[in-house]
Amino acid sequence: MFRFFLIFPSIFLLLLPVTTGVNAQRAELSVSPATVSKEVVVNTLDEEFEDISTIRLTNTGAKTLRLQWNKEIESGPGQWQSAVLDKQPNYSPFVGNSQAQDQDQTPFQLRPSESADFFLVLRPNDIAGKGRITINFIEITQPNRILASSTFDLKVIDRKRTASPRATTGSLQLYPNPAVDNFFVEMPRNVDAGKVEVFNTLGRKLKSYPQPDPEKGYDISDLPEGIYLINVYDDQGKKLRTMRLFHRRFGGA
C-alpha cells in the first residue's frame, strides 16, 4: 500500500506537462480561406487587367500579435505581377509599384479576436497561364515560425473574340483613383457609356448606376474606405471590364 502512493504522484507529474503542451499548440492565428483555387476566364486579356482575391486573418489567441507577411511566388509566368494589399491607405493602388511594397512593409497588430482583410492582386500583363502564390504570416519576435498561410492556385484563360464591327480605340479608365467623393469613367473612342456597378471585394453589389452622368460622375461618398470593383458596360449592355477603384476619405494619410 505504501508503494502505491509513491507511484501515483509520479504518474500525475508525468501527465501534467503533456496536457500543458497540448494547450500550448493551440492556433494563435487563422486565415480563411487557407487555399484558393481560381480559374479566371476573360474574353480579351490586356495589360491593364487585374484579378483580386480576398482572405481574412483572425487572431484566435489570447494575446495581441505583431505580424508581418511575406509572399512566395512558387510558380507562374515571369511576366505576371502581384501585390498584397490591406486596408491601410499608404499602399499604391498600382501593382507595378508592388516590388518596393513587398520589400519594405511595416508590422501590423491584431488584438485577440480581431480580424483583418488582405487582398492578393494579380496583373497577368496580357499573359495567360497558371501559377501558385503563397502568403505567409509571421510574428515579428519569431521570424522563422509561420503562424498561418494562404495558398493561391491561379489559372488565367484568354478567350479572344474576333473583332466586332464596332471597333474601338483608346482605353477605358477610372479617375481619380484613389477617389474621395466621386469617380468618373473615361470610355474608349467610338463607345458610348452604359450602366456602372460598384461591388465590394467579396462580390456584393453596393451601387448600380443605370444611366451615365459624365458631368457629376458616380457618387461613392457614403461608402467606407477600401477597395471596390467597378463593372463598366456599354450602351448595348455589353460588359467591357471590371476595374479596381480605391476609395479614400478626404484628408486620409
Does residue 110 form part of some domain?
Answer: yes
Of the listed ranges 17-26, 110-119, 202-211, the one predicted with least confidence: 17-26
- The verdict on residue 233 lying in a domain is yes
**101 and 46 part of one domain:** yes
pLDDT value for 43: 61
Among 92, 124, 158, give the residue marking a domain's end: 158
Looking at the structure, do residues 112 and 36 belong to the same domain, yes or no? yes
**Domains contained in the chain, number:** 2
pLDDT of the residue at 211: 83
The mean per-residue pLDDT over the stretch 19-43 comes to 69
**Contact yes or no for 49/123 (Cβ under 8 A):** yes
- On whether both 120 and 185 belong to a single domain, the answer is no
Together in a domain, 128 and 209: no
pLDDT band at 19 (very low <50, low <70, confident <90, very high): very low
Query: Of the candidates 92, 123, 158, which is a domain's last residue?
Result: 158
> Which of 83-92, 219-228, 234-243 shows the lowest per-residue confidence on average (mean pLDDT)?
83-92
Same domain for 148 and 61: yes
**One domain for residues 38 and 154:** yes
Among 119, 134, 158, give the residue marking a domain's end: 158
Please tell me whether residues 84 and 125 are part of one structural domain.
yes
Cis status of the peptide bond prior to 112, with omega within 30 of 0: no
- Contacts for 187-191: CB closer than 8 Å, 24+ residues apart: 187/232, 187/234, 190/166, 191/166, 191/234, 191/240
pLDDT at 15 over 60: no
Instruction: Confirm whether 6 is domain-assigned.
Output: no
Instruction: Report pLDDT for 96.
Output: 44
Q: What is the CATH number of the domain that holds 74?
A: 2.60.40.10
- Say what the pLDDT of residue 1 is: 46
Query: Of 2 and 225, which is predicted with more confidence?
Result: 225
Residue 196's domain comprises 173-247
Identify whether residues 75 and 145 lie together within a single domain: yes
Q: Residue 120 falls within a domain, yes or no?
A: yes
* 135, 83 Cβ separation under 8 angstroms: no
> Is residue 178 located within the same domain as residue 219?
yes
**Count helices and strands in the chain by DSSP H and E runs:** 2, 16
Q: Is 43 inside any structural domain? A: yes
Do 146 and 43 share a domain, yes or no? Answer: yes
Query: E-assigned strands of 12-166?
Result: 29-32, 35-42, 51-59, 65-75, 81-85, 108-110, 115-123, 129-139, 146-158
Residue 243 resides in a domain: yes
User: What's the CATH code of the domain at 200?
Assistant: 2.60.40
Around Cβ 154, how many Cβ atoms within 10 Å? 23
Residue 235 has pLDDT above 60, yes or no: yes
**Is 4 within the bounds of a domain?**
no
Whether residue 59 is found in the same domain as residue 149 = yes
How much is the average pLDDT of 31-40?
Answer: 88
Residue 13 lies in a domain: no
